Amino acid sequence: MNVLVTCPPMLGMIDSFLPIFTRHGVQVTAPRVIQALSEAELIRLVPRHDGWIIGDDPATRDVFSAGKAGRLKAAVKWGIGVDNIDFAAARELGIPVSNTPLMFGREVADVAMSYVVALARETYAVHQGVRNGQWPKPRGISLAGRTMALVGFGDTGRNIARRAIASDMRVIVYDPAYSPDPGLPGLLASIWPSRLDEADFIVLTCSLNAGNHHMLDTAVLENVKNGVRVVNVARGPLIDEAVIAEALQTGKVHSVALDVFEVEPLPAESPLRRFERNIFGSHNGSNTEDAVVRASHRAIEILFGYLGVKLS
């Protein structure tokens, strides 16, 4: 039996997981993946395997069809986000697919709050200035008393809210499925994009779907507070990057911290690169040793279950 792994965090620690596969007579293909393989590469590779642990790759109808014509019996999406998976095609083809939810909300929340602090105090600009022989002292803003517009109230959103409350911030939650959490008192709830003019920070944590593509666009930005700071640890296409670049140019948006982008890796010609206060990640918010081990073991467990391999 053969399994293909295309998730970069899991691949980065693949030697830790190979003994599990070997012990159960399963061979692993572990290609070099920077962010995702192309559809053409997947159409070539997937049919050779019985199982597939998916990263952010385009798991499209054509890929699943090629897999079905070959050996593919089941797949697991490593992590939470599933916007890259054509579940309808997988169901039609009889290929079971699931994700690994509730694996790293705390880890992504840590990164999101580090971005909030860094944008508030411009710590990255200080760091870069000192490295360049300067001694900058930007006058930032305090978090206490500031308002965070928190988009998405799943595992990551709840963990961010907990950290924001600990920082004495006011939090407005945007999530159609929102229900009060007794452990998080004092949260406000609203319908996007009402009350967004109150926000000092907009933090995106929601999943990507057909209804929220470019949810942060020209019409929304016209009504935000001047100098708002934007953090995205969810999916790049939630933001219209061309519009954000224009808003950065005018000062409508003070700065952004983005762990994800519309095109990944971030193109060299992206206008976002022109603004020194911006902070960029590499779609790496969940990538800690602890979280990778936790999510990878869960992905293996689910996939082995689909393939009829009994974990011992």
Active-site residue flag, 262: no
Q: Identify the pLDDT of residue 312.
A: 76
Are 293 and 238 contained in the same domain? no
Say yes or no to pLDDT of 263 above 80: yes
Q: Identify the pLDDT of residue 258.
A: 98
Give the whole-angstrom CA distance, residue 273 versus residue 267.
9
Q: Identify the pLDDT of residue 87.
A: 97
Are 96 and 127 contained in the same domain? no
**pLDDT tens digits along 170-197:** 999 999 999 999 999 999 999 999 999 9
Pair type for strands 170-174 and 2-5:
unpaired
Q: Which of 49, 106, 254, 283 is catalytic?
A: 283
Say yes or no to pLDDT of 66 above 80: yes
Are 61 and 180 contained in the same domain? no
Domain count, the chain: 2
Question: pTM of the full predicted structure?
Answer: 0.94
Q: Which of 106, 170, 229, 235 is catalytic?
A: 235
Are 115 and 234 contained in the same domain? yes
Are 82 and 180 contained in the same domain? no
Q: Percentage of the chain with pLDDT > 70?
A: 100
Active-site residue flag, 294: no
Owning domain of residue 39: 2-103+288-307
Give the whole-angstrom CA distance, residue 256 versus residue 277.
8
Residue 14 falls inside a structural domain: yes
Read off φ and ψ for residue 303, nearest 5 degrees: -65, -45
Specify the CATH number for the domain of residue 44: 3.40.50.720
Q: Identify the pLDDT of residue 135.
A: 97
Active-site residue flag, 264: yes
Are 62 and 183 contained in the same domain? no
Whether the Cβ atoms of residue 3 and residue 24 lie closer than 8 Å to each other: no
Q: Which of 41, 198, 264, 301 is catalytic?
A: 264
Pair type for strands 228-232 and 253-258:
parallel
Residue 312 falls inside a structural domain: no
**pLDDT tens digits along 9-62:** 999 999 999 999 999 999 999 999 999 999 999 999 999 999 999 999 999 999
Are 30 and 117 contained in the same domain? no
Q: Average pLDDT, whole number, for the chain?
A: 97
Q: Percentage of the chain with pLDDT > 90?
A: 99
Q: Can you tell me whether residue 27 is helix, strand or coil? A: strand
Mean pLDDT of the 109-138 span: 97
Are 242 and 129 contained in the same domain? yes
Are 122 and 250 contained in the same domain? yes
**pLDDT tens digits along 270-283:** 999 999 999 999 99
